[in-house]
Amino acid sequence: MPDIPGPISFWLREIRKLQARGKWLAVGPIYAAAAMLMLAVVLMLIVVVSTELFREPPTVQHLRQDQAKQSVSEPRATPAAVPATPKEKGDVLPTTASGAVRTKYVGSEIPHKPVAGPVKNAFGWQFNPVFNDWRYHVGIDIGAAAGSPVQALYSGEVATVYKDKDYGLTVVIVSGADSVYYGSLNSTRLVKGRAVAAGAVVGSVGSCATEPYFHLHVAIKPGGDKYVDPQEVLSKAE
């Protein structure tokens, strides 16, 4: 009898034990079933190996055909639309209440000196002798004789006329996108909405409670931003 593989030999021994005990199994059919099982396994292995060996390798033509099919089946993606560049802040020009376009006055018009005299109080943190403390001065004080005429730095439109608790009687003239404050006035004839030419009389020199000496308080706020030092503008004045 030929050599029997280990697993089959093991099960045959087990079957013989059962047969010896109960005598209900026959050895002949078991040999036939084991042989048929082994044959089926061998045939399956032969089929798998032959399939892999005789498979046709892909050719360049096949690859090109596959690529062509893929390009037809898959639609080409269209590039996304590029959003338009948002306008810069400077592209939108400020307008007046009537809709007329304003132009920025700084650098586009030569300023006029509002009044002749020395700077008595500079821009920024300054010591106030009345209150004996340090306060932030948003403009400059130009010393002048009482009643001296005050001229407009730039042409524009009167935005408001009011009494400020710190700077006294004040006229605000909007020039372009910016505002010029004329404070510590003794008097003025201007009213809200009045057009003012550069060099025109705004009012007369006076004083205020926090700065009890005759002077003109000038403050400049460009485009609604923080105040700037008026001396930078007055250095270019005629």
Cβ atoms within 10 Å of 114's Cβ, excluding its own: 24
Q: What is the Cα–Cα distance from 227 to 123, expressed in whole angstroms?
A: 9
* Domains assigned to the chain: 6-72 (no CATH), 119-234 (2.70.70.10)
Cβ neighbours of residue 16 closer than 8 Å, sequence gap 6 or more: 27
Return the closest-CA partner of residue 101 out of 172, 177, 180, 193.
177
The continuous run of DSSP H or E covering 44 comes out as: helix 27-53
pTM of the model: 0.55
Question: What phi and psi values does residue 179 have, to the nearest 5 degrees?
Answer: -125, 135
The continuous run of DSSP H or E covering 180 comes out as: strand 178-187
Q: Tens-digit pLDDT profile for the chain (238 aa)? A: 555 556 667 767 777 776 676 654 455 666 666 677 787 778 787 877 666 655 555 554 555 565 555 544 444 444 444 333 333 333 233 333 433 334 344 445 788 899 999 999 999 999 988 889 999 999 999 999 999 999 999 999 999 999 999 899 999 999 988 999 999 999 999 999 999 999 999 999 999 988 899 999 999 998 867 899 999 989 888 7
